[in-house]
Amino acid sequence: MAVVYWIFHKEVSAFFNSLIAYIVVAVFLAGNGLFFWIFPDNILETGAAQADVLFAMAPWLFLFLAPAITMRAFAEEFKTGTYELLATKPLDDRRLVLGKYLAAVALIFFSILPTLVYIGAIYGLADPVGSIDLGGIGGAYLGLLGVGAVFAAIGLFCSSLTDNQIVAFILAAFLCFFVYAAFDLLAELPFFADYNHFILLLGLQEHYRSISRGVVDSRDVLYFLSLIAFFLLLTQAMLERRR
């Protein structure tokens, strides 16, 4: 575990020592703020003490946030040659992947934390004060963190495929979009009308909607964990192949 913590600390420190970290987090918060307070159907226009806009838009912003966080994880190591140096040390790929993955999830978690200000605003604006569905909001945050964790695993895998950070970002953004939204789009096609429910269950968005209702279903949790494990194992396999 000491090795995993060392990698975790190294990745988090490197991220916050770069300008891109603050730009990425600022864009994420600004994007959520615009949809929450400024754009049409915002909370002030609807007058509803709900955070639906936040939880509807945040996963789409994660499509860019998570790849931006993970694009340098392995791509930069390959480009600078530091991965070859790591490969000579008694450090197995499983711990390397785990340390980098936990760092990415932690950074996503820290990006989500400031959005609690929006929930506090809803809490204060509600009439009567505090009359909001905290259980549903808690479930939505859990689902949002799950989406971010899956996207982080996808981003890590894409970073292990190339030494170009931009390519890793584009691949990760596309793959995150496919896993999150493609199955919903396929389910709407007339050709799949008889199988639309099954197809929806294959997509991340359906499970996010389910857990966002405030009910933590073991099937949804298992789906999140399975996707994460799948992409982390793929990442480990790519690293072993490179060795």
Give the pLDDT band of residue 193 (cuts 50, 70, 90).
confident
Residue 185 pLDDT > 80, yes or no? Answer: yes
Residue 55 one-letter amino acid: F
Average pLDDT score over residue span 32-41? 68
Query: Angle, to 10 degrees, between the axis of helix 52-70 and the axis of helix 165-177?
Result: 150
* Among 64, 95, 74, 82, residue whose Cα is nearest residue 1: 95
Distance between CA 136 and CA 199 in Å, rounded? 25
Looking at residue 151, what is its pLDDT? 97
Distance between CA 87 and CA 167 in Å, rounded? 23
Reduced 3-state DSSP string for the chain: CHHHHHHHHHHHHHHHCCHHHHHHHHHHHHHHHHHHHHCCCCHHHHCCCCCHHHHHHHHHHHHHHHHHHHCCCCHHHHHHCHHHHHHCCCCCHHHHHHHHHHHHHHHHHHHHHHHHHHHHHHHHHCCCCCCCCHHHHHHHHHHHHHHHHHHHHHHHHHHCCCCCHHHHHHHHHHHHHHHHHHHHHHHCCHHHHHHHHHHHHHCHHHHHHHHCCCCCCHHHHHHHHHHHHHHHHHHHHHHHHHC
Residue 161 pLDDT > 90, yes or no? Answer: yes
The string of pLDDT tens digits covering residues 74-100 is: 888 888 877 776 666 667 788 889 999
Q: Name the residue ranges covered by the structural domains of the chain.
A: 2-242
The string of pLDDT tens digits covering residues 129-146 is: 656 777 778 888 999 999
Instruction: Please tell me whether the overall predicted TM-score, pTM, comes out greater than 0.85 for this model.
Output: yes
Looking at residue 47, what is its pLDDT? 54
Average pLDDT score over residue span 7-18? 80
Average pLDDT of the chain is 83
9 token code pair:
């600390």
Locus of tokens 């340098």: 72
Reduced 3-state DSSP string for 73-137: CCHHHHHHCHHHHHHCCCCCHHHHHHHHHHHHHHHHHHHHHHHHHHHHHHHHHCCCCCCCCHHHH
Preceding omega of 190 cis (within 30 degrees of 0): no
